[in-house]
A and B are shown apart, each in its own frame.
Chain A
Amino acid sequence: MRTQPSVEVGTEWGIVSARQAGRELAKEVGFNNVDQARIATAISELARNIYLYTENGVIELEVVEKDALKGMKIIARDDGPGIENIRDVMEDGYSSSGGLGAGLPGVKRLLDEFDIESELGNGTVISTIKWLR
């Protein structure tokens, strides 16, 4: 297992560099065009949440292997305010910032595995995996 250096998301440009790092790694792992776009879009959503709602956070990228499967793990980690009601944010159309409210549920649909842990006042960790088919 190889860990990639994490990308800090402090400004809007952090979103772009996280996305680029993700796309590059996805290409390296062997994902096709559509999956590369899915991964880049998912990273974009996760990084934008960090940029919009927290002071600082990171996107961590990792190549993972399980049995014969190869995949890419994307972790979004921040020490922001945390999410009060996870069930709400996972619902389509819910947004606390006037957005489309498709972000997190969208990320879940774009990728294969999705896990969210959040503690009020202590930040949020969203851990996702896309498997190579």
Chain B
Amino acid sequence: MHSSVIDYIHQRKTHYITKWKEDLTQLVFQQEGLSDDLTEDITNEMIDLVFDGLFSEEHEQEERLRRFADRLSHYGLPLSDYIRGLQSMRQTVKSDLDAQYSEGQVAAFEAWLDELISKLVDAGAKTQERVIDLQNVALKEMSAPLIPVFDRISVMPLIGTIDTKRAQQIMENLLEGIIEFRTQVVLIDITGVPVVDTMVAQHIIKVSKAVGLVGSKCIIVGIRPEIAQTIVNLGIDLSKFSTTSNLKEGVETALAITQREITPLSTS
């Protein structure tokens, strides 16, 4: 951009900031539950970002945009509001510039602003991506834990949808955990699995077989009545596998297999 254009905008900086703040107020201040101080703060940061970018070198701009996008996302503020704000500033500045400068120089200003908007959208998208990545990691961490509950008895509670990736994790965690905890009986609790279709059933069957291969026994627990009916409707034969309706019964069965039982302490 031509330096005289920058100087021109610089001279009228206060005017633009006042004008722009009015526009932003209409666009952004409707957000509920946001204190006036905070809104003012974020608006100022946005304005600084634009004018600093205009008057100084561009290094660190991406980092600042990223932080700004993080903040917007943190407070649940839509990026589109700020982009609309930038568009409104473009109109104001452009109409001023049109009267003073050549078409090419005005176009250069617009190109610069477009670039800024693209970068802001980019930063916003990256923030979202990071959030999704983090959630994926968090989800993966809690996805299929094997929990030892008694000597030689472990439980794997499954909650949520089982997709191919998770099915693989279940298998790995299970087989590793069985060796680690010297598990003889493992209870797989599917109470929290919303739908048992043929694929899920197939995975459960595979897992049971693999558990058998490493010398342990697998009991499927938490088969809800409606799931039991759909399994029968689908024509899936689970009769070769141990199943119980809830975890409590599963634990009792597992204790019986390992030749133990829970009895009340005698009070005498």
Contacts and interface: CB of A to CB of B under 8 A. Distances in A.
Interface of A: 12-13, 16, 19, 33-34, 36-38, 40-41, 44-45, 48, 92, 99-100, 102-103, 105-106, 109-110
B236 A100 contact: yes
A87 to B, nearest CB: 17
Interface in B148-180: 161, 163-164
Interface in B199-241: 199, 201-202, 205, 225-227, 229-230, 233-236
A19 B163 CA distance: 13
How extensive is the interface on chain B, given as a class? Answer: 20 to 34
Contacts of B164: 12
Contacts, number: 66
Given A12-B163, A38-B233, A100-B236, A106 B198 contact: yes
Nearest to A107: B234
Interface stretch (B21-29, B117-125, B189-197, B248-256): B189-197
B224 to A, nearest CB: 8
A109 to B, nearest CB: 5
| A contacts with B: majority SS | helix
A37 B229 contact: yes
Nearest to A38: B230
Nearest to B225: A34
B202 A99 contact: yes
A52 B251 CA distance: 37
B236 A37 contact: no
Contact of B195 (A40, A92, A102): A40
B198 A103 contact: yes
A106 B163 contact: no
A109 B229 CA distance: 11
12 contacts: A12-B164, A16-B163, A19-B195, A37-B227, A41-B195, A44-B199, A48-B199, A92-B235, A102-B198, A102-B235, A109-B233, A109-B234
Contacts of B233: 38, 41, 106, 109-110
B198 A99 contact: yes
Nearest to A92: B235
A36 to B, nearest CB: 7
Contacts of B202: 99-100
Contacts of B227: 37
Nearest to A104: B198
B234 A102 contact: yes
